[in-house]
Structure 1
Amino acid sequence: MSIVSSHSKVASIHSKQPWFVLSAAKHYDLVLSDQPAISHFYSFKTKPLSEKTFAVPDGCVDILFDCDKTNPSARVYGTPLEARSGYLKGDHDYFGVRFSLGVTPDFVNVSVDDLVDHQVGFLDAVAGAEPVFDQIVNQPEFAGKVALLEQFLRGKSVRKISQLTLNAVHRICEEKGDICLTQLEEQTGYCGRTLQRQFLTDLGMSPKAFSRIVRCQSAIYDINHRDDVAFSDLACDLGFSDQPHFLREFKKFVSATPVEYQQQVKQITYLQRIRYF
């Protein structure tokens, strides 16, 4: 597994957990998957005295392994709906898989709405997971962990999403979350009540909640990958009524103001910490 110096493929991943990257002691390793249901695999070692870490809304399900030698564990995390205090411990080795936006693995024995904004034990929620858990936490190499988990996941199904929700998700992502329910009604031909009900069934959240996640992730993406972000312009581009509204929403979702977050990203040279394999 060789390191690719270009960040072009890293930039293409729009579902970010930036505080995970910033909590890494050195590098945050990442590899894409050839399975459409999977966004990527990642691995990092936290700083010896880990600062408070936050998980931000990203619309994705993660399986995260704490590969601690004395007390290893693994949990399945649904997307938070606002910034949540992180669950990372200092000087621990972490390995995880992030599923693609809106994808829920069918082998996790938890309903979609019970997984959103919640977490469950991997061994409790996934039948027959003990062998792969033991192999992964005892495998020292990132490539080896990826191979083990990829083999375990290959052929496993994901929960089917209705065509209505798929179409609406596509439109929401195209508009970077700047779309209202009335527009979705016009573009899908379905009433708001039907859209709401189908979204809750398929994704465990409302179209509005999903749109807010996509809009927040779009803001994070722009701050991460642009040197000349004017927050007033960014607020306007993403459809916020005014800059104060954008600042409040960003703080709720990221647990930092855009200025504070931008300073953190630049101070630790965010993109240089990510190694794409």
Structure 2
Amino acid sequence: MRKSDKYGMMPVQPYLILGTDQYQTIVEQGDGISHFYHFVLEEKPQNEMTAVPDGSVDLLFGIGENDIRTFIGGTVLSAKRWEFEEGRKYFGVCFQPGGCHLPAALSIGDLVNNDLEIDGNLFGTNLLEKLAEAKDLESRSTIFLQEYRRARTEQFPNHIGTLEQYMRMRIYEEKGNISIKALAEETGYSECYIRRIFRQAHGISPKNFERFVRFQNVLHIMNHASNRLHLDELAQECGYFDEPHMMKDFKSFAGVTPQSYNKMIEGTKLRAAGTDAVSQAI
């Protein structure tokens, strides 16, 4: 799993990378942001664009010739169709799970499994005009950071933020396999209280978040595997009880089986060379 000082993984949306043109990213790892990204949709993709669960909030600016449309969405709960307009340039901000400071008009519960069209200037004064004038991903990322830092407010009291961060990092450390009972014993809070605090920050339960962490771990290993993978070893590496357990979640979250996904990414920009894999063939 890719790690930073405060956040435990870099969320990945594989179908976005595979199905769009000129896809680029800048890794941020600060201010609760995972990465910025840019892409264009020159024509309708051959396959349906699909969002997968990642526990994150995405803020997306669709820059057209005459306007900018702004959408914000939380994590999906299973593989879900993701629609974009052809001919627009898109600038996106992917926040780390629990990292997005929302304007007062929005709540995390409204965003889960949903995409809302909003006024992009909620995230900064004259932000849309400034983004429209910028020419590339780097300059748009700089502009967003400047305006977001001015506009954001602290979302939670300090003790709540510290508790949420501790729970999230323990979930990452245990690869999505730590019980609520264990978290309650470690923190000294009741199970009911820590569930409530976690949902307040993420809009989903700790149990669902753990499932998404395991799934994202599978994606990262498959995307960076230089050799073919043995499914039972992959399941064990990513914290699943057994191979059928992993297969069930993967099909629900990715919309395809691990075997089909592996074939889909073979020879694409998603498949990075040089990373040791589990071994043998799917």
**TM-score past 0.5 threshold:** yes
Two-structure CA RMSD over aligned residues (Å): 2.6
Pairing of 1:1-277 with structure 2 (within 5 A): 14-25=10-21, 27-33=22-28, 35-50=30-45, 51-70=47-66, 72-107=68-103, 109-123=105-119, 127=122, 131-155=126-150, 156-160=152-156, 161-228=160-227, 229-271=229-271
The percent identity for this pair of structures is 28
Q: CA deviation at 1:206?
A: 0.9
Following the alignment from structure 1 to structure 2, what is the Cα–Cα distance between the partners of residues 34 and 251?
30
Following the alignment from structure 2 to structure 1, what is the Cα–Cα distance between the partners of residues 78 and 267?
24
1:40-60 Cα shifts (integer Å, max 9, x gaps): 111012252223111111111
Residue 280 (structure 2) aligns with = none
- Which deviates further from its counterpart, 243-252 or 159-168? 159-168
CA 1:108–1:32: 2 relative to 1, 3 Å:
farther
Does structure 1 conserve the Cα–Cα contact (< 8 Å) formed by 2:97 and 2:202?
no
Amino acid at match of 1:204: G
Residue 4 (structure 1) aligns with = none
Q: Classify the secondary structure of the residue corresponding to 1:154.
A: helix
Q: Classify the secondary structure of the residue corresponding to 1:29.
A: strand
Q: Classify the secondary structure of the residue corresponding to 2:119.
A: helix
Does structure 1 conserve the Cα–Cα contact (< 8 Å) formed by 2:59 and 2:92?
yes
Amino acid at match of 2:44: L
Gapped regions of structure 2 (runs ≥ 5):
273-282
Following the alignment from structure 1 to structure 2, what is the Cα–Cα distance between the partners of residues 150 and 249?
35
Provide the TM-score with structure 1 as the length reference: 0.84
Q: Which runs of 4+ in 1 moved over 6 A?
A: none
1:206-247 Cα shifts (integer Å, max 9, x gaps): 110111111111111111112232221111223323212211
Q: CA deviation at 1:21?
A: 0.6
Q: CA deviation at 1:16?
A: 0.8
Amino acid at match of 1:222: I
Q: Classify the secondary structure of the residue corresponding to 1:267.
A: coil
Following the alignment from structure 1 to structure 2, what is the Cα–Cα distance between the partners of residues 236 and 173?
15
Q: CA deviation at 1:68?
A: 2.2
Provide the TM-score with structure 2 as the length reference: 0.83
CA 1:176–1:266: 2 relative to 1, 3 Å:
same
Following the alignment from structure 1 to structure 2, what is the Cα–Cα distance between the partners of residues 36 and 78?
17
